[in-house]
Structure 1
Amino acid sequence: ANMSHELRTPLNSSIILAKLLKDNPDEDLTKEQVEIAETIHGAGNDLLLLINDILDLSKVESGMLEVQPEQTAVSGLIETLERTFQPVAREKQLRFLVKTDPGAPETIVTDPRRVEQILKNLVSNALKFTAKGDVEVQVAKSEQGIAFRVKDSGIGIAPANQAAIFEAFRQADGTTSRKYGGTGLGLSISKNLAEILGGSIDVDSALGQGSTFTLWLPLEISGPVEIKPPALASIPASAHEPVRKPTPMKASDHPAPGPVRPKNSPPLIDDDRALMKPGQPKTLLIVEDELQYAKIIFQAAKEKKFLTAVAADTDEGFKLAKSLRPSAILLDIRLPDGSGLSLLDRLKYDPDTRHILVHGMSVADYSREALHMGAAGFALKASDLDEIRRTLSMLEEKTRSRSRRVLLVEDDSVQRASVEKLIGAKGVEIVAVENGADALTALHNSLFDCMIIDLKLPDMTGFELLDKISMQKGSAIPPVIVYTGKDLSRAEEQNLYRHSRTIIIKGARSPERLLDEVTLFLHQAEADLTPEHQKMLRASRNRERAFDGRTILLVDDDVRNIFALSSALELKGANVKIARNGREAVDKVLKDDSIDIV
């Protein structure tokens, strides 16, 4: 479960290079050589799918899979299935039908990403094993909550084989894999995921008469769900065993760094850094230590007429960002001398670089962390050259000079005017509305770079507005800054956390913090702001420096909290010590005079 980068990064490079050979742009390969490249490309993609399945199964079995429940629109799940599989069904000349019973729940509280993963696997299997006829998805209310049925008119499964199909690397019989392909992992993963989500999967089938797979889910799961790894047998445990201090985890420990290049090494690639000037348009910095992948991105950037520099680690990346001030940065999250997230934090803290558009990339999903820290985007490392080109086109579009748009939702006219004055600047368009309904209309009709809301509105609470935003179809959701002077209750904090998987949410309780967050999400250069605004931003940052050099004792028995809090505090320069219970905390405070904060 920890091997994803080591397996997928070299494979992605191989797939892209095989694609370049297969496309034969210079037309200097023979037909046989092109066919060989096509075979390599196809085999590489098959291997990548297998690795992804194995990694998913490993994470489930080791208890490392994260599940984050949130309010989920059932219609959104169904629309995704229709959009994904209608073209596949048409190509096979099958009918793909979707039916939702009138009494079916409209929303459920679950992890939509995992539910989507299960349903996609069931529908994909149904289409694969059906040569003619129909594949139908039915949604209905059930005693447990909700039922998703995937029914096909395909080859069917003999009763004797129905239990085996849910085992890893097992299919109905030995001929299935040879005839239809696949690894036999999909249903095993789906069954495990369904159980983690509080539900189950069953099958009703007969050989030659098609199959019906049903996913049963509750209407709501509490979360995040804790997944217990399998128990280890034959290990005696003493009831009087002392509490052990865990090894403190740092932000740079995950993802794990690779080998470090020697200092003052020559550039990874003969790049364009000598031609680049600070603030010059269409300039790109690639921070990537894997040579072949860096070369692929570099060549794709050249096609787009970017002047491009390449850095191989966080230190070189920060130095080049400071000196060249490119219009955009493509940042690998796993780097040899530390996490790319730590470099992103340095870039967004430094007034000279915080406005630069940073797009994160990795073989693992760090989108939430990167976007919360101010990244303009995030993508899983592509094994498709066209996907890399699309990312570069998106960066090119975002770096073009344009007005930044902010949606301000505030019913108090005095407060609204003061916020408009605070964040108003050249090139910033503020759309101010007084209530939640107008905010939803504005979001539906146009795009915004950032949104500021108060939690108390005349027609709904800020929490209800966030509920409606996350359910609104066809609207791009901008980062949300909750600007309120009140202390949030535990329940209110939990309510905000519930949305943090689908919406980037930040809190701001002072004008300085509000200005800081707005300029971060609008990617505004600090030098372009007024002297008064620059002074406010310095004050905001100095307040965060309060942790720098402090020794903080963190008392918690939940390893997830320890990891999250210690990572955040260490990024602020704190020295973190850990205690797992109250007795251990008291002992540490009595023995260690260096502790400043508990």
Structure 2
Amino acid sequence: MNGFHDIAASRVRGFTERLVLAAFVCGTALLLHWSVWPPLWLIIYTVSQTADKRLFSEWAAQPDRTPDRAQEIRLIVSVAVSVIIFSSMAAYTWFLGGTVGRLFAVVAISGALLHVSLQMYQKRRFLYAAVGPHALYLLALPTISAFTEGREGLMLLTLNIGTLVFLANLALAVRQSHRAMIEVTEARRTAEQASAAKSNFLAVMTHEIRTPMNAVVSAAHLLKRTDLTSEQTEHVTMLGEASDVLLGLVNDVLDISKIEAGKMTIERATLDLPDMVDGLTRIWRPQIEQKSLRLEVNIAPDLSRHIQTDPLRLRQILFNLLSNAVKFTAHGTIRLSVVQHDGILCFEVADQGIGIAPALKDRIFSSFEQAEAATTRRYGGTGLGLPISRQLARLMGGDIELCSIPHVGSAFTLSLPYLPVRTAPVEEVPMSASPTDTPRARRVLIVDDHEVNRRIVSLFIKPMGFDAVMAVNGAEAVEAARVETFDAILMDMQMPVMGGIDATAAIRAEAGPNQTTPIIALTANALDGHKKAWEAVGVYDFLTKPIDPDLLIDTLMARVNAAETDARKTA
């Protein structure tokens, strides 16, 4: 948005205000000296303002458009004419309204000067056109009276001294205001650039961290499928747990960044409430038992089994609350309760842990903070779980409240709108992913610039009867897709020579053997913008690294089977 657009928008917005002020000036002039001239002046001023608004409306509606020289001159003339007409009524009250009329004329012109200076300061030519006529009136009226009223009139010339001082101060104020606006604009531009740099940094770091993590996590999955000794199994388990923690930290940083940028979206779907709670307890029960704690789960019998909510975010919040309870409880019981009160669904996670002092309760909901530094050193963590959980809860229309007593325990209560689903949804029958469903060898093109990633993906899909063909960048993938038919293409995003999105667009644009072949994105770029970029080229299966092997197989089998079914129907 440029300075000219701001002036145009201000002129259009202030149309009604100027007419109301003109009506007030007209009424005052009639009280000071009754005649036909004030109403006639009001009519002329209204016509001039209507024309002025029509001229500026075209430019106010187009922020990026700038008038040429001739158009700018017409607009400047319109402003000058409007000012000349407005201040002419000050001359009327000055000469015909007596002492009060002269005071009113000075006040009216001074107020108008201040108004147009603040409105027009961004463009000097417009500023001069608006300020000039007002200033001339303010200087000319006392001067004319000085020559027509004799010796007493000469005293009025002292007004010009005050006028010059006023104009000098006004010019200084306009200059300072303009300088301040430039500084504000520069600060905003700097902040926007910093925000863009932050987003770019997160995108790059996400990709760079997830790429090697994919190799670590996937190697752990592959090792689990081999014959291991008990000691080796323990080592692989430790490797997997450490990878899960690291991945959780990466996801937390991305989530808090998306929330702060206002890019976090909340979805709504049907959720099986007892099934979700059971899944969460299965995840945490081994650690709870390892610490010799007890876990109690209570779901109120009057609750609907199925509810409408964002399943992913609800699991995330409860996962964080349970993680917090397990982390800070050394002995005793952890209790998860689910009830509803007056249309509000309440999840309470209570523990018998270290508790939180009242003065520190607000800090734990601030990003990257825990109650005390000693807590971080002893228990670890980034301090992002609870801030993310509360902000997600508020995005979902609810909140999280805390009740805690030091050395006794804490109770976190998640409150959400209770939206029951009275009829259970029809459950989908999962597709079989067994090798017996693949009577022939299916060929998959794996596109990734990292050799380890290509190797790992091929090992994941080989037991399902897939043969793998490798490409190290998008250009190689496009060339391979021209000469050989594939059952599916697994495409990375960020690669040298040609990226995955450009390669996908090229494959879809050519009338080759793989124009309609299912393409699945396997990428370390996990931000929402990346997903939308894939959707723009027709890719709706978006799997982020580290790759979950089960999810990869399920997605691949579903897409390949669907494509084969469609091919049989059209055959």
Aligned to 1:132: 331
Residues 344-355 of structure 1 mapped to structure 2, 5 A cutoff = 346-347=507-508, 352-353=513-514
Which SS does the other structure have where 1:214 is aligned?
A: strand
Mapped contact 1:161–1:172 kept (Cα < 8 A): yes
User: For the aligned residues, what is the CA RMSD?
Assistant: 4.4
- Aligned counterparts of 2:541 and 2:354: Cα–Cα separation in 1: 43
Provide the C-alpha distance between the structure 1 equivalents of 2:563 and 2:306, rounded to a whole number of angstroms. Answer: 33
Match of 1:287 among 438, 447, 459: 447
| Alignment correspondent of 1:409 | none
2:374: which partner in 1? 175
User: Amino acid of the residue matched to residue 484 of structure 2?
Assistant: L
The alignment partner of 1:523 has SS state of helix
Give the alignment partner of residue 546 of structure 2, picking from 363, 382, 390.
Answer: 382
Change in CA separation of 1:142 and 1:2 when aligned onto 2, cut-off 3 Å: farther
Aligned position for 1:14 = 212
Give the aligned partner of residue 117 of structure 1.
316
| Residue 181 to residue 108, structure 1, CA distance change in 2 (3 Å) | same
Q: Which secondary structure state, in structure 2, belongs to the residue aligned with residue 89 of structure 1?
A: helix
SS of corresponding position for 1:217? strand
For residues 382 and 211 of structure 1, what CA distance do their matches in structure 2 show?
34
Q: Secondary structure at the match of 1:115?
A: helix
**Any conservation in 2 of the 1:345–1:373 contact (CA below 8 Å)?**
no
* Structure 1: runs of 5 or more not aligned: 26-34, 222-278, 405-520, 535-598
Query: Corresponding residue for 1:93?
Result: 292
Which string of whole-angstrom CA distances, capped at 9 and with x for unpartnered residues, describes residues 169-212 of structure 1?
A: 11121121222221111101111111111111111111111110
Residues 415-450 of structure 1: per-residue CA shift (max 9 Å, x gap): xxxxxxxxxxxxxxxxxxxxxxxxxxxxxxxxxxxx
Structure 2-normalised TM-score?
Answer: 0.50
1: CA distance between counterparts of 2:553 and 2:216?
Answer: 23
Q: How does 1:437-516 map to 2 (within 5 A)?
A: none
Q: 1:522 to 1:327 in 2, by over 3 A?
A: closer
Structure 1 residues 210 and 341 mapped into 2: Cα distance closer, same or farther (>3 Å)? farther
User: Equivalent residue for 1:360?
Assistant: 521
Q: Which residue does the alignment assign to 2:470?
A: 310
| Alignment partners' CA distance in 1, 2:289 and 2:367 | 31
The change in CA–CA distance for 1:281 and 1:127 in structure 2 (over 3 A counts) is: same
Map 1:578-597 to 2 at 5 A.
none
Distance in 2, matches of 1:381 and 1:115, equals 22
**In the alignment, which of 477, 482, 486 is matched to residue 322 of structure 1?**
482
Please give the alpha-carbon distance, in whole angstroms, between the structure 1 residues aligned to 2:268 and 2:327: 30
Going from structure 1 to structure 2, the CA distance change for 1:399 and 1:300 (only over 3 Å counts) comes to same
- Find the counterpart in structure 2 of residue 548 from structure 1: none
Q: Which stretch of structure 1 is more off in the superposition, 87-96 or 37-46? A: 37-46
Is 1:148 the equivalent of 2:329? no
**Which whole-Å CA distance do the structure 2 matches of 1:103 and 1:19 have between them?**
42
- Is contact 1:165-1:171 (8 Å) kept? yes
CA positional deviation for 1:357: 4.8
In structure 2, what is the Cα distance between the partners aligned to 1:176 and 1:394?
41
Larger RCO: 1 or 2 (CA < 8 Å, sep 6+): 1
Tell me if structure 2 keeps the 8 A contact 1:318–1:347.
no
Instruction: Compute the displacement of 1:108 (Å).
Output: 4.0
- In 1, the alpha carbon distance for the partners of 2:243 and 2:449 equals 22
- Return closer, same or farther for 1:74/1:317 CA change in 2, 3 Å cut-off: same
Kept in 1, the 8 Å contact 2:509–2:515? The answer is yes
Q: 2:276 aligns with which of 46, 56, 77?
A: 77
Give me the whole-angstrom Cα distance separating, in 1, the residues matched to 2:272 and 2:354.
32
Q: Work out whether residues 295 and 333 of structure 2, in 8 Å CA contact, stay in contact via their aligned partners in 1.
A: yes
Q: TM-score under structure 1 normalisation?
A: 0.48
Residues 399 and 150 of structure 1: CA distance in aligned 2, closer, same or farther (over 3 Å): closer
Q: In the alignment, is the contact (CA less than 8 A) between 2:335 and 2:351 conserved in 1?
A: yes
- Partners of 2:254 and 2:538 in 1: CA distance: 29
| Alpha-carbon distance between aligned partners in 2 of 1:182 and 1:130, rounded to the nearest angstrom | 15
Extract unaligned runs of 5+ from structure 2.
1-198, 224-233, 421-438
Larger radius of gyration: 2
Cα distance in 2 between the residues matched to 1:396 and 1:105: 34
**Distance in 1 of aligned mates of 2:287 and 2:511:** 48
Q: Which has the higher helix share?
A: 2
Matched residue of 1:198: which SS?
coil
- Structure having the larger proportion of residues in strand: 1
Say yes or no: does 1:216 pair with 2:415. yes
C-alpha contact (below 8 Å) 1:203/1:213 kept by paired residues: yes
**Count of aligned pairs between the two proteins:** 342
Change (3 A) 1:72 1:345: farther
Match of 1:523 among 560, 564, 569: 564
Aligned partners of 1:79 and 1:369: how far apart in 2?
Answer: 36
Say if 2:481 and 2:507, in contact at 8 Å, map to a contact too: no
Label 1:77 to 1:367 Cα distance change in 2 as closer, same or farther (>3 A).
farther
Q: Which residue of 1 aligns with 2:263?
A: 64
Counterpart Cα distance in 2 of 1:71 and 1:20: 31
The 2-side partners of 1:391 and 1:141 are apart by 34
Q: Cα–Cα, structure 1 residues 108 and 24, in superposed 2: closer, same or farther, change >3 Å?
A: closer
Quickly say closer, same or farther: Cα 1:16–1:74, change in 2 above 3 A.
closer
1:455 matched to which residue of 2? none
